[in-house]
A and B are shown apart, each in its own frame.
Chain A
């Protein structure tokens, strides 16, 4: 009986050592890819987007900054996002959310979760941090109101004055410390 319950128990949290080794190897190649992406991102001077690993020990957690594109309602605002890469990146999309509250039809105002097709079902390994950041930047100016995550925001998108008021009510400017 006891055997039965143990077999039914959820798999142990700690994977076997051999699995760890394999995943470490994979992590090595992922780390290499991420290093390259960082290098490309640093060298390309795309205005208004930027990202960097949170700490020198962990290449899988990044912090990003997106400036609202000019001539949109978000112009002049900067948003901080967090990017978390899975161990099997780039086969699986990174998890991205807004840390700065962002009043936007496709962004959850509380959790910061983003509804963007390339981060979900349309993800492809050819995308990179840079393309994600660029997509997010353009998403700010051109929301997809057809599948809103924040229905309030989607509802008042067409009235810029009201939208701006809501946006600024939630927005908090970036602080210096990470």
Chain B
């Protein structure tokens, strides 16, 4: 039964199909007419090799045939057959593509690619169905063609395409409009949008690098924008503003893509400046243009973190290493401060970059000295850290947020938790804030001032005024109270002058001492030398005169400081020299007898260490006044001798500076800790090291590790202050 039903159904279908194709024509004539029409139509539509010329078909016949097919509702099938035929014929196109690309690979000429594109357009046009078939079929055709085309285009084509696009960036390119049209026809503008954009990006990158690298004096951004408008925008027009009717239209279409290109330009410039930032800072202030650019770019492009990273890396690599001079690091730090303030006024970038520099500087022993030397204008190079135009302000202390401040701004979004807004503070405040307190600076300042004041002689006494002026300026920064000691030191200088002129008026002396108030001067290196002979007589005479003038005061000579102008009358010659007192003392001894041994000489001036004595003697040896006959025996050369090659060539250590303030502070602190250790050992008897460590908790500011304490105790043991047995320490008494 089922078979019957099926049979009936098939019969019905067949009948229906037949009726449709036969269109109620008599017999099967309708069917015959239909097959004819089908043949005409497929033949017309069949994709042909465009290289073969073919006769133009009779359009009227074709139209009639399509009509017939349409009426038989066989058009969809027709279309399918047609599209299949295209796929089958595509090998013709592939051959063409391969041929052109091979040629391109060989010559590298983008014109070949362009020809290929035009050729492809020809294929496309040749195979396209006629307009009369309606847009649906056309769209189906285009889709099939493009899908097929893109699936077979080899990577080489993409390369060539990119090169072709790039070649159109040159303003002389003639064929541009037709090319863009061809791209449009083939759907390449959409398909390869990324590639076309990357061509634009690459061009921008290249141009920015070419024109802006190393050019920091003027801002580049304006010029770059002008270039974009003049060069890139016209290039973009046919692609992104196709079909724009007027400029207004075009602008609207370009807005999106234009801002992308502008962003890319900013990013490129930002990358470039980021990579150059260290040198830009070195060049500051000649590089302010670049900094302006950077500022603008950073507002557009969020690459602040990268900038920080790059600068920190560059600093670590190029600045913060033992090979760099402290002064150099300081000036670079100051330049960094100035530069980053331009780029980022709130100072977040600066804070992040400065942190490692500050930490590094804190470890350097001569940082304070360098800063202070710069403050007092010590270096005459004129390369001052401080901008002279910057107004002198008092040091700024850390401010707590003022909750009543109407101009308060929240901290920038990328500020770290320990970020402190350093409001427009001046450079010196920033430098001083490297350390926790300004006391270190004040101390160092005193040491430095002492050195400079002691170097002043009667001839250049006006320098005292210069120092005074300096101190007055520094008072504004550090406050009156902090510099009181300096004030006393300066007063000592003028008082000395006054006292000296008084003493001289009573009893003329060739001695002009500087009388200092011991309590207010930094601890000067002490020495026990006693001036022999006439020097001592001079000192005593002066001291006597002084004590009649100031009965309640007593002079204590620091014989090792100062200079002596000597005129040595020898048998055959007169030697004049300005020498330190020790040298003078030695040569004075030679006036007693001609030959001295080293030990005798040292005894003759009281106590002096051997290197210093040797140094003093070498001065005279160099002047040809004495000679070392045998080791440690010196003879006065009353008659000049040929200078023998000196056996001891100045193997003399450089003069050591007075203790720096930081070292001094450390020593002070260790002295304090020692008092505590002494106290606990006196009262508690013997203690193990860890007990001492915990008990030192009572000492203010104790922050040493137990290892450091162990080292300290070991040093104390070597000095015989303590003894240790079985890990128990006790006082040695």
Contact = CB atoms under 8 A, between A and B. Distances in A.
A65 B694 contact: no
A54 interface: yes
B403 interface: no
A87 interface: no
Contacts of A59: 698
Nearest to A35: B698
Contacts of A178: 683-685, 687
A65 B675 CA distance: 15
B685 A177 contact: yes
Given A39-B700, A56-B694, A50 B683 contact: yes
Given A42-B676, A43-B675, A65 B683 contact: yes
B672 interface: yes
Given A43-B672, A43-B675, A56 B682 contact: no
Contacts of A52: 676, 679-680, 682-684, 695, 698
A53 interface: yes
Interface in B651-686: 672, 675-676, 678-680, 682-686
Interface string A90-102: 0000000000000
Contact of B682 (A38, A39, A65, A177): A65
Interface residues of B, number: 20
A178 to B, nearest CB: 4
A175 interface: yes
B24 to A, nearest CB: 113
Contacts of B679: 38, 41-42, 50-52
Contacts, number: 57
B697 A56 contact: yes
B700 A63 contact: no
A9 B672 CA distance: 52
A176 B730 contact: yes
Given A65-B682, A176-B730, A56 B675 contact: no
Interface in A46-104: 50-56, 59, 62-65, 80
A175 B686 CA distance: 9
Contacts of B685: 174-178
**Interface secondary structure of B, over-half rule:** helix
A53 B686 contact: no
Contacts of B678: 42, 50
Given A43-B672, A43-B675, A176-B730, A38 B698 contact: yes
A25 to B, nearest CB: 20
Contacts of B682: 50, 52, 65
B406 to A, nearest CB: 39
A38 B698 CA distance: 8
Interface in A1-43: 35, 38-39, 41-43
Interface in B684-720: 684-687, 691, 694-695, 697-700
B704 to A, nearest CB: 15
Most buried by A among B672, B680, B686, B730: B680
A38 B672 CA distance: 12
A151 B684 CA distance: 32
A53 B698 contact: yes
Nearest to A42: B675
A51 B683 contact: yes
Nearest to A55: B695
Nearest to B730: A176
B681 to A, nearest CB: 9
B329 to A, nearest CB: 37
B672 A54 contact: no
Nearest to A54: B684
Most buried by B among A41, A51, A56: A56
Contacts of A177: 685-686
Contact of B698 (A43, A56, A64, A65): A56
Given A35-B700, A39-B699, A80-B683, 15 more contacts: A38-B679, A42-B679, A50-B678, A50-B679, A50-B683, A52-B683, A52-B695, A52-B698, A53-B698, A56-B691, A63-B684, A65-B682, A177-B685, A178-B684, A178-B685
9 contacts: A35-B700, A38-B679, A41-B679, A42-B676, A50-B678, A50-B682, A56-B691, A63-B684, A65-B683
Interface of A: 35, 38-39, 41-43, 50-56, 59, 62-65, 80, 174-178
Nearest 7 CB-CB pairings of A with B: A178-B684, A176-B685, A42-B675, A63-B683, A52-B683, A56-B694, A50-B682
